[in-house]
Structure 1
Amino acid sequence: MMPHTVARMDSPAAASIPPARIASIDRLRGLVLVLMVLDHARTYLSDPSFDPLDLEHTTPGLFLTRWITHLCAPIFVWLAGMSAHRLSLQLDQNALSRFLLTRGLFLMVMELTVVYMAWTFTLPGTGSPVLGVIWAIGGSMVVLAGLVRLPLVLVGGIGLVMIVGHNLLDGIDPARLGALEAWWPILHEKGPTPMGKVLYPLVPWIGVMAVGYVFGGVFDLEPRQRRTVLVGFGCALLALFLLLRLSNGYGDPHPWPLQPTATFTLLSFLDASKYPPSLIFLLMTLGPASILLAYCDRTRLPLADPLATFGRVPLFFYITHLVIVRLLAGVIALSLGFDLALLPKDPVAAGWGFGLPVVYGAWIGIVVVLYPMCRWFAGVKARRRNRWLSYC
C-alpha cells in the first residue's frame, strides 16, 4: 500500500521516521477482506431471486450474512485515509500528494479494466462497467491528494461535513440539474452515467477517507492510550447511531418500520442505506470498525499473521478472489448441468442457488486457497522496489 522510503533504515535520519505500515491496520484490512469473500461467495452461490436484505423474502441468517459484510467498504476507505496519514510522516507534502493522485488514478483505471474483467470474464468495452468500491477508493484518493495541502483541522472539518450533511442532498431531483443530470450519480446517487453504472458515489466516501486521514494521528499515542481512544470513539459512534436510528428522523432516507416479529423489526432497524452510505450506515459500521481496530492492535491476536498478510496485498487479494469465486461458480454450474451462459446474467432462469452451508463452506475454502497466493505476492512486494507494486 505504501511506497518505499528513500532513507536507509539504518541511518540516523531513518531512525526517527515512524513506520509506514501499522500491523493493526493490516490485520483489520485483512479481516474485512476475508468478510468480503463471504459476501461475494453468497452473491455467486446463493439464490439470487431476491435481495438478502428484502425483509419480505429473506431469512435472518441470510440477512445477517449480507449485513455483516457492510463493514467492508467503510473500513477499506477509512483505513486508506489512516494509511495516508502515516505516509505523511515520511514524505513531504508534494510527494504525498503525488502518490495519492497517481495511486487514485491507477485504482480508477483498474476498476474499469482488470476489475471489470475479473467480475465479468469479458473484455473492457463489451459491456457497461460498474463503478464499485475500488473506484470509490481511487476517486477519494484523488480528492485527498488536494486536501492534504490544507491544514489538518480543515481536512477533518470537510470530511465531517460530508459525512454528517450529505443526506441533505437526498431530496435533490437530478432531472432539475440539466446537463449535469447524467453525471449526478458520480457524486451522490447510484445509477447509470456515461462512464458506467455507479454503485459507490464519491460523496460521502471522500469524507470518510478525509476523517480517516485526520484520525490516523491516533497511532502517535502510547498503545494502551490508543486502544482506549479507539474503543471510546467507536462506542460514541454506536451511541449516536442508536440515538438517530431510534428517532427515525434525519440520517437515512428510509425510516425503519415495525415488522410482524421482534426479530424482523430488529433487522429492519439495522437495514440502513448503503448506496450512497447514509449517516446512519456510516455510524453503524465505523463504530465497530474503531473497536475492531483496537482489538487488532493487541500483541497477541488469533490468526494475526494470515490477516496481516492479506492486508498487505489488498488489491491482489481483491482481484484474485473475484476470479476464484467466479471460476468456482462456473465449475459447479457445469458439473450440475446448468447453462453456464446464464450465470450470472440470468441465474434465476438457470434455477441456480444453494443454501448458506454451501456458501460458508465455499467461503472458508476460498480463503484457505488465497493464503499461499497472498503470502507469495507479499514476498514479491517486500523484495522488489517496483513502484506499481506499492499500489497493490
Structure 2
Amino acid sequence: MKRIQTIDFVRGLVMLIMAIDHIRDLMYISTGLQDPTDLTKTTVGLFFTRWITHLCAATFVFLSGTSAYFSFQKQQNLAESKRFLLTRGLWLIVLEFTVITFAIWFDVQFRTFLFQVIAAIGFSFIILSFLLKLSPKKIGIIGLVIIFGHNALQGISLGQNPILSFIASLLFGGGLAQLPHSTMVIGYPIIPWLGIMLAGFGLGQFLEQPDRQKRLWQLSAGMITLFIVLRFSNIYGDPVKWSEQKDTIFTFLSFINVTKYPPSLLYVLLMLGISISVLALTEGMKNKFIDIVTVYGKVPLFYYLIHWYSIRFITIGLMFLQGYSWKDFVFGTFEFGKPKGLSGVELPMIYAIWFGLIVALYPLCKWYGEYKSSHPEKKWLRYL
C-alpha cells in the first residue's frame, strides 16, 4: 500500500509546532507566573503561542490511529498487527515514564511522573489491538461515541475512595495522584484520547477513496461548523463557557479558548477540523516546504525524543549564560529546573531558539528516516 505523504506532512507540521510549546515551558521568562490562556493576564501573542500548539496532541493521536489502520491493511495479519500494537503500546508507556519523564523534569529522583501524550497513545494502541476484529467503521463509530459523549461524564464523582478516584482520573478526568515516593500528573486521561485515536483509525477508509480530498474538505467544514454552533450556544461540549471580554479580540480568544485537559468535544472539533483541512489542502501538493516538513513526520518518535533532550540542554546552557550556577537550578515536583526569579527569555527569542532547533534537527531526522526505510529487515526500527 502506497504511503500517503500528506499524513507525514501534517504530522511533521504539528510536531514542529509542538516544539514551540516545550521551549516556552522551559525557557519563557514568565513560565510559572502566568497561564498563557488566562485572558485576565495574557497577551494576544502569548495566547496564540500556546493555543496553536493545541493542534499538536489531537492531530498526533488522531494520525497515530490512521497510521495504525494503514499498517493493519498492509499486514493483512490480525495476529501480527495485534502483537505489534500491544508491544509498541507497552514500549511507549515505558518510554514515557523513564526517558521522557527524565527529559522533562531532569530529576534523578523521579519525584514527578507526567502521564501525557506518549503514554496515552501507548494505552490506546493496547486497547485498539483488542478491537481489531471489528470493522474499521465500527471502530470509528466507537471513537465518535467517546468524543461526543465523554463530556457528559464530567462532574460525576466516584466518592472519596482513593483507588476509585485514581481510576477515574486515569480513565476520564485527569489530575494528580500521590504515589508512595512521587506524584503522578495525569494530563492525558486514557478514554478521551482513545476516542480520538479510534476516530483516526476510522478515517483510514476515507483516505483510501479516490475522492478523498473532497471528503476531507466536507468533513473539516462539518466539524468546524458544528464547533461554531455548539460553542455559540454555550450549552454542551466544553466545561468552560465563552464570554464577552474587554474588547472584540479578547472575546474571540474566549470563544476559541477550548479545554484540552481533558480534551473536550469542542477542542476535538476545532483542532481536528483545522488539521483535516490542512490534510485536504495539501493533498497531492508537491514543493520543497512539504518535502522538508515531511522528513520530520516520517520519524515522529525519534524526533520527539531528541527534541526534548535538545530543549533541555539548551535551557541549561541558557541559564548558565544568564549568570546562574548549577546550585541555582531547582528540581522536583512541578519544577522544570529553572532558577527562581525571572530567568529565561522573552517571546521573540523563544521563536528564534525554536527555529534554530528545528533546523539543527533536520539532518538527524533525514538520516534516520533514510536509514529506517533502507533497512526494513530491522524490525526494531518500527518501535522508534
TM-score range, shorter chain: over 0.9
3-state DSSP class of the match of 1:171?
Answer: coil
Equivalent residues in 2 for 1:273-292 (5 A)? 273-292=259-278
Aligned to 1:29: 11
Q: 1:38 aligns with which of 17, 20, 37?
A: 20
Question: Can you give the 5+ residue segments of structure 2 that lack an aligned partner in the other structure?
Answer: none
**1:289-347 Cα deviation digits (max 9, x unpaired):** 11111123223244122211111111110111111111111111101112441375474
> 1:178 deviation in Å?
6.0
Alignment of 1:83-122 (within 5 A): 83-91=67-75, 92-122=77-107
1:166-185 equivalent positions in 2, closer than 5 A: 166-175=150-159, 179-185=163-169
Q: Is it true that 1:306 corresponds to 2:292 in the alignment? A: yes
Kept in 1: contact 2:104–2:336 (CA 8 A)? no
Query: Where in structure 2 are the equivalents of 1:305-344 lying within 5 Å?
Result: 305-340=291-326, 341-342=329-330, 344=335
Once the two structures are TM-superposed, the CA of residue 175 in structure 1 deviates from its matched residue by: 2.8
TM-score normalised to the size of structure 1?
Answer: 0.91
Structure 2: distance between partners of 1:292 and 1:328: 31
Instruction: Show the counterpart of 1:383.
Output: 374
Distance 1:382 1:153 in 2: 30
Q: State the 1:176 CA deviation.
A: 5.1
Q: Distance in 2 between the 1:186 and 1:353 partners? A: 33
Q: 1:217 aligns with which of 202, 205, 209?
A: 205
SS at match of 1:213: helix
Determine if contact 2:17/2:56 at 8 Å carries over to the other structure: yes
CA distance in 1, matches of 2:227, 2:320: 45
For structure 1, the residue ranges without an aligned partner over 5 or more in a row are 1-17
Task: Write the deviation string for residues 66-118 of structure 1: whole angstroms up to 9, x where unpaired.
Answer: 10110000101110111111112122122111111111111111101111122
* Bigger mean CA deviation after superposition, 125-134 or 55-64: 125-134
Between 1:258-267 and 1:191-200, the stretch displaced more is 191-200
The Cα RMSD (Å) is: 1.7
C-alpha separation between the residues in 1 aligned to 2:38 and 2:339?
16
| Percent of paired sites with the same residue | 37
State the Cα distance separating 1:122 from its structure 2 match.
3.5
Aligned pairs for 1:1-392 within 5 A: 18-19=1-2, 21-46=3-28, 47-48=30-31, 49-91=33-75, 92-123=77-108, 126-175=110-159, 179-193=163-177, 194=179, 196-222=184-210, 225-340=211-326, 341-342=329-330, 344-345=335-336, 347=338, 349-384=340-375, 385-392=377-384
TM-score (normalizing by structure 2): 0.92
Question: How many pairs does the alignment contain?
Answer: 371
Secondary structure of the residue that 1:89 maps to in structure 2? helix
Whichever residue aligns with residue 359 of structure 2, its letter is V
SS at match of 1:303: helix
2:204, 2:7 → 1: CA distance? 10
